[in-house]
């Protein structure tokens, strides 16, 4: 082939690619390595309504878990409706925390002067007597083998620092929703940069994606099978490394989703979902949404393991039997859902010769993440940061530190502090609400005209720096004919469901094809090389 022919073929390749990617590439679930049309892959995905983790052809297992996306999607509506009511109950809505400790990592950490950052405390007299500081500090005093700092401590089994309840105020969490506050700029960026630097394994989003992504097959029977299918190497990308990074990045993605879901329009003064925010922060990087699914499964597994303990817990709230019964009924529903979708096999982690060393390193760094929350300059952000890092740390402890004997509510009634129970369920609520918010963004996207959506994608592409990746990051069909067959099958499926959608998609692809033809003689815009990847 002549050099001229090669050049023409190279320039025409983007046009061929419009009809090239697999039939299921429109789903962000199909392939974490796809970098083309990633916004559409997130926003045009249709969640499954019913699943039992036994689909004949699931979209694919959630990496490092034994569950699939369909199961999480099918239970989340029920999960959210129940847990949304649960966190309104007196036991779960009051949280005591000291928000005014000094930052242990740097002296100047700024503050948020925006009114949205401010929160209101609850007078201790409004809190049931059993949960007040004096009563809780007596319980904390019974905890042995504590490593202490003024006002807080941790036990060897803990993945976070806990308040000792001698300081701090009470907050009604239903009155301080997690949403946009205006806290941004260098100080906010420094918080997340420091958190990611506590990633003791040095992983990034793309080093995590170097391995072969799991194919769309039935669920593996064990997490060991998942590990093997994912192409991970025990020396380069051990399971523990991936779990740690996904936990951190999933938390970041969930918080970003909440911010976008309740965004302040500074022109009108109204609160509402901001699709542009979601597209830029999440939809343009589909793997971030996958990390939200991952964290949801991890939290559900912790709640599932804690089922007997949580069922026997004393939720004495206002002193009325009705409140206590209602709390336990709703909690029972949440535990039932967790037992269905919390498919995570914690037993395959932290095994082998250096398991204890690896686990201690894991815990030490996550404890530091919980202490970084003391450096957040926004009161509301600091509150929810402390709650969610405590909630995830509680889940990690339940999964990786406690055996069945320790979880026995009769022999170990004081296993968890009240703050840990409240944080765990509120954190699960946060992740479930994130998935609900994603569905709202999908509806907003569906209601937009093609011109509006194209403009939104262009704006998002300008806001997000180009990502450097090797050719191995993108998987393509083995042949052009295979790709065409997949594309044809996809169109048949769409057209069976909706004639209007069928026509709209055909027109859209034709439009893109024409745009590709017109762009052949234009500069690619990549002469300066790819830019550096930037976190959320």
Length of the chain in terms of residues written:
536
User: Is residue 181 a known part of a binding site?
Assistant: yes
378 part of the active site: yes
Of the candidates 453, 492, 495, the residue with the CA atom closest to the CA atom of residue 40: 453
Contacts of 105 (CB under 8 A, 6+ apart): 194, 371, 372, 375
User: Is residue 45 a known part of a binding site?
Assistant: no
Opening angle at CA 36, ends 34 and 42, nearest 5: 75
User: Is residue 179 a known part of a binding site?
Assistant: yes
Of the candidates 94, 51, 79, the residue with the CA atom closest to the CA atom of residue 299: 79
DSSP tag of 96: E
Contacts of 83 (CB under 8 A, 6+ apart): 330, 334, 425, 428, 429, 432
Q: Distance from first CA to last CA of the chain, Å, rounded?
A: 44
**The CA-based dihedral angle spanning residues 482, 488, 492, 494, taken in that order and rounded to the nearest 10 degrees:** 100
User: Is residue 475 a known part of a binding site?
Assistant: no
Question: Quick check: 293 and 69 in contact, CB under 8 A?
Answer: yes
Q: Which of 117, 260, 277, 381 is catalytic?
A: 381
Of the candidates 330, 333, 339, the residue with the CA atom closest to the CA atom of residue 306: 339
**Rounded alpha-carbon distances, angstroms, from residue 203 to 87, 155, 349:** 34, 27, 18
- Tokens linked to 384: 């929810």
Question: Quick check: 328 and 96 in contact, CB under 8 A?
Answer: no
- Write the DSSP assignment of 127-154 as a string of letters: S-GGGSHHHHHHHHHT--SEEEETTEEE
Task: List, in sequence order, every residue forming a beta bridge with 169; answer none if it has no partner.
Answer: 97
Question: Quick check: 419 and 162 in contact, CB under 8 A?
Answer: yes
User: Is residue 487 a known part of a binding site?
Assistant: no
- Tokens linked to 519: 């762009």
Grouping H, G, I as helix, E, B as strand and the rest as coil, residue 307 is helix
Of the candidates 181, 87, 92, 98, the residue with the CA atom closest to the CA atom of residue 373: 98
User: Is residue 281 a known part of a binding site?
Assistant: yes
260 part of the active site: no
**Cα–Cα distance, 318 to 126 (Å, whole number):** 10
Phi and psi angles of residue 12, each rounded to the nearest 5 degrees, phi first:
-85, -15
Question: Quick check: 136 and 165 in contact, CB under 8 A?
Answer: yes
**Cα–Cα distance, 391 to 389 (Å, whole number):** 5
| Residues assigned a catalytic role | 378, 381
Report the binding-site residues. Answer: 179, 181, 192, 249, 252, 281
Report the binding-site residues for FAD. Answer: 179, 181, 192, 249, 252, 281
């Amino acid at each position: 082939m002549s050099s001229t022919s090669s050049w023409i073929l190279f320039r025409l390749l983007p046009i061929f690619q419009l009809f090239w990617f697999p039939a299921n590439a429109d789903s962000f679930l199909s392939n974490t390595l796809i970098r083309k049309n990633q916004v559409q892959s997130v926003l045009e995905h249709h969640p499954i309504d019913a699943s039992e983790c036994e689909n004949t052809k699931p979209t694919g297992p959630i990496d490092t878990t034994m569950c699939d996306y369909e199961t999480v999607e099918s239970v989340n509506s029920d999960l959210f409706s129940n847990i949304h009511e649960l966190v309104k109950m007196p036991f779960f809505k009051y949280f005591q925390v000291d928000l005014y400790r000094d930052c242990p990592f740097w002296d100047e950490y700024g503050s948020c002067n925006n009114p949205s950052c401010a929160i209101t405390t609850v007078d201790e007299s409004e809190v049931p007597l059993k949960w007040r500081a004096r009563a809780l500090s007596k319980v904390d005093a019974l905890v042995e083998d504590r490593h202490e700092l003024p006002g807080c401590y941790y036990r060897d089994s803990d993945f976070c620092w806990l308040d000792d309840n001698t300081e701090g105020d009470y907050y009604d969490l239903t009155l301080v929703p997690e949403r946009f506050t205006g806290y941004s700029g260098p100080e906010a960026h420094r918080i997340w940069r420091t958190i990611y630097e506590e990633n003791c394994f040095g992983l990034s989003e793309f080093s995590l994606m170097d391995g072969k992504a799991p194919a769309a097959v039935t669920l593996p029977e064990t997490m060991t099978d998942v590990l093997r299918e994912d192409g991970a190497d025990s020396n380069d990308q051990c399971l523990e490394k991936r779990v740690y990074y996904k936990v951190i990045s999933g938390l970041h993605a969930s918080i970003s989703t909440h911010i976008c879901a309740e965004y302040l329009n500074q022109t009108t003064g109204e609160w509402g979902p901001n699709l542009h925010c979601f597209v830029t922060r999440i939809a343009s990087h589909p793997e971030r949404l996958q990390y939200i699914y991952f964290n949801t499964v991890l939290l559900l597994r912790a709640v599932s393991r804690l089922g007997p303990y949580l069922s026997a817990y004393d939720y004495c709230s206002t002193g009325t039997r009705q409140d206590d019964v209602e709390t336990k009924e709703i909690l029972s529903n949440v535990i039932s859902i967790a037992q269905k979708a919390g498919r995570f096999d914690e037993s395959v982690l932290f095994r082998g010769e250096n398991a204890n060393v690896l686990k201690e390193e894991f815990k030490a760094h996550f404890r530091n993440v919980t202490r970084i929350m003391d450096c957040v300059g926004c009161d509301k952000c600091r509150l929810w940061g402390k709650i969610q890092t405590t909630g995830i740390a509680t889940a990690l402890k339940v999964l990786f530190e406690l055996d069945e004997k320790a979880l026995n509510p009769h022999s170990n009634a004081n296993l968890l502090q009240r703050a840990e129970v409240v944080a765990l369920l509120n954190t699960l609520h946060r992740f479930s609400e994130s998935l609900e918010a994603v569905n709202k963004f999908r509806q907003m996207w569906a209601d937009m005209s093609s011109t509006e959506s194209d403009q939104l994608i262009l704006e998002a592409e300008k806001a997000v720096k180009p990502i450097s990746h090797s050719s191995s990051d993108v998987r393509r069909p083995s042949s052009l004919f295979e790709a065409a067959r997949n594309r044809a099958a996809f169109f048949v499926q769409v057209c069976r469901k909706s004639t209007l959608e069928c026509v709209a998609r055909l027109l859209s692809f034709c439009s893109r094809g024409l745009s590709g033809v017109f762009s052949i003689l234009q500069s690619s815009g990549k002469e300066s090389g790819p830019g550096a990847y930037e976190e959320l």
